[in-house]
C-alpha cells in the first residue's frame, strides 16, 4: 500500500497532536556541503510549516527548507516518514 501522507502532514501531525509538539522530532534534510550531504534538524528549531516550506531558526536568521529536501522524520525513537528513494 502506498501512503499519500507526506512530510508536511507528518510534521503538522506532530505540531498539533497531543505530544510535545515538534520538540521530539528530528528531521534529516538534504544539505549539500554537509557531511554526507545530510543535516539533522532538531524539531525545536522549526518555527513555521507553510504550504511549500518549513522554516527554521538558525544563528544567521530564519531559513526556509522546501519539503522535497526532507529525507527522514523521526520521533519517539521511530522513523515516522522516509523518502521512498531511501527505503
Share of the chain above pLDDT 90, in %: 71
Tens digit of each residue's pLDDT (9 = 90 or more) over 23-48: 999 999 999 888 889 999 999 999 99
User: Residue 47: its pLDDT value, please?
Assistant: 95
Q: What pTM did the predictor assign?
A: 0.87
Split at pLDDT 50, 70, 90, the class of 15 is very high
Averaged pLDDT for residues 63-78: 96
Are the beta carbons of 86 and 79 closer than 8 angstroms?
no
CATH for 7-86, options being 3.90.1150.10, 2.30.30.220, 2.60.120.1030, 3.40.47.10:
2.30.30.220
Phi-psi region of 32 (alpha: psi -120 to 50; beta: other; left: phi over 0): beta
Amino acid at each position: 500500500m502506498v501512503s499519500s501522507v507526506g512530510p508536511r502532514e507528518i510534521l503538522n501531525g506532530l505540531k498539533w497532536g497531543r505530544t510535545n509538539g515538534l520538540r521530539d522530532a528530528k528531521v534529516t534534510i538534504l544539505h549539500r556541503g554537509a557531511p554526507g550531504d545530510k543535516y539533522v534538524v532538531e524539531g525545536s528549531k522549526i518555527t513555521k510549516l507553510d504550504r511549500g516550506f518549513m522554516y527554521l531558526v538558525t544563528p544567521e536568521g530564519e531559513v526556509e527548507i522546501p519539503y522535497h529536501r526532507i529525507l527522514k522524520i523521526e520521533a519517539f525513537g521511530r522513523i515516522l516518514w522516509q523518502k521512498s528513494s531511501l527505503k
